[in-house]
Amino acid sequence: MQKEYKSVEESQVVISELMLPSHSNFNGKIHGGYILSLLDQIAFACASKHSRAYCVTASVDTVDFLKPIEIGELVTMKASVNYIGRSSMVIGIRVEAENIQTGKVKHCNSSYITMVAKDDAGNSVEVPGLILKTDNQVRRFAKSIKRRKMKIKRSKEFHETDFLSDKYLHIEEEYKAKIQLDS
* Tens digits of residue pLDDT in 106-116: 999 999 999 99
The residues, ordered by sequence, that sit 6+ positions from 4 with a Cβ below 8 Å of its Cβ are 128, 129
pLDDT digits (tens, 9 = 90+) for 34-90: 999 999 999 999 999 999 999 999 999 889 999 999 999 999 999 999 999 999 999
Q: How confident is the model at residue 94 (pLDDT cuts 50, 70, 90)?
A: very high
pLDDT digits (tens, 9 = 90+) for 121-136: 999 999 999 999 999 9
pLDDT at 2 over 80: no
- How far apart CA 15 and CA 172 sit, in angstroms, is 47
Across the range 11-32, mean pLDDT stands at 95
Q: Which helix (H) or strand (E) holds 77?
A: strand 74-84
pLDDT at 165 over 90: no
The residues, ordered by sequence, that sit 6+ positions from 160 with a Cβ below 8 Å of its Cβ are none
Q: How confident is the model at residue 163 (pLDDT cuts 50, 70, 90)?
A: low
Q: Roughly how many angstroms between the first and final C-alpha of the chain, as a whole number?
A: 63
- How far apart CA 40 and CA 35 sit, in angstroms, is 9
Q: How confident is the model at residue 179 (pLDDT cuts 50, 70, 90)?
A: confident
Which domains does the chain possess?
Answer: 5-174 (3.10.129.10)
pLDDT at 1 over 60: no
The residues, ordered by sequence, that sit 6+ positions from 8 with a Cβ below 8 Å of its Cβ are 80, 81, 130, 131, 132, 133, 137
Tell me what pLDDT residue 164 has.
Answer: 59
- How far apart CA 52 and CA 39 sit, in angstroms, is 19
Please state, in angstroms and as integers, the Cα–Cα distance from residue 148 to each residue in 59, 82, 106, 113, following that order: 11, 12, 28, 11
Tell me what pLDDT residue 174 has.
Answer: 79
- How far apart CA 128 and CA 49 sit, in angstroms, is 11
Tell me what pLDDT residue 161 has.
Answer: 67
Q: Is 110 helix (H, G, I), strand (E, B) or coil?
A: strand
